[in-house]
Structure 1
Amino acid sequence: MPQMSPIWWFSLMIMTIFMLMLINNLIYFNILNISIKKKETTTSKNNWKW
């Protein structure tokens, strides 16, 4: 493995960091959307109370 070029290791590191950031963003926005939908449902239920 050490005979490989440093550019390959650098690209591998960048790809791993990029994938981690992407996964974190997807998880974060998924949780954010779920919480917003829950809030919308509760507010819509409260709006229809007489």
Structure 2
Amino acid sequence: MPQMAPLNWLNLFFWFLIIFLMFNSINYFMIYYNIKKSKITKNKLNYNWKW
């Protein structure tokens, strides 16, 4: 029936929204990024070029 078509579109929109949010949350929270922080060590001597 044509009168029920808006409900079907609304249902499809809600399913799309739920799947979209679940997909984004899984990608954001379940992937662990290894961030390696390295200390900046300055081993070279800095000579002033003016002297």
Under a length normalisation based on structure 2, what TM-score does the superposition of the two structures give? 0.56
In structure 2, the residue matched to 1:28 is: 18
Structure with more helix by fraction: 1
- Give the paired residue count: 36
CA RMSD for the aligned pairs?
1.9
- State the alpha-carbon separation in 1 of the partners of residues 20 and 12 from structure 2: 12
* Distance (whole Å) between structure 2 residues aligned to residue 17 and residue 37 of structure 1: 30
Structure 1 ranges of 4+ moved more than 2 A: none
- 5+ residue gaps, structure 1: 1-10
Q: 1:37 aligns with which of 10, 27, 31?
A: 27
Which structure has the larger Rg?
A: 2
**Structure 1 length as normaliser, TM-score?**
0.56
Per-residue deviation, 1:13: 2.2
The equivalent residue for 2:4 is 14
Counterpart-to-counterpart distance in 2, 1:37 and 1:12: 38
Sequence identity of aligned pairs in percent?
11
Alpha-carbon distance in structure 2 between the residues aligned to 1:13 and 1:35: 35
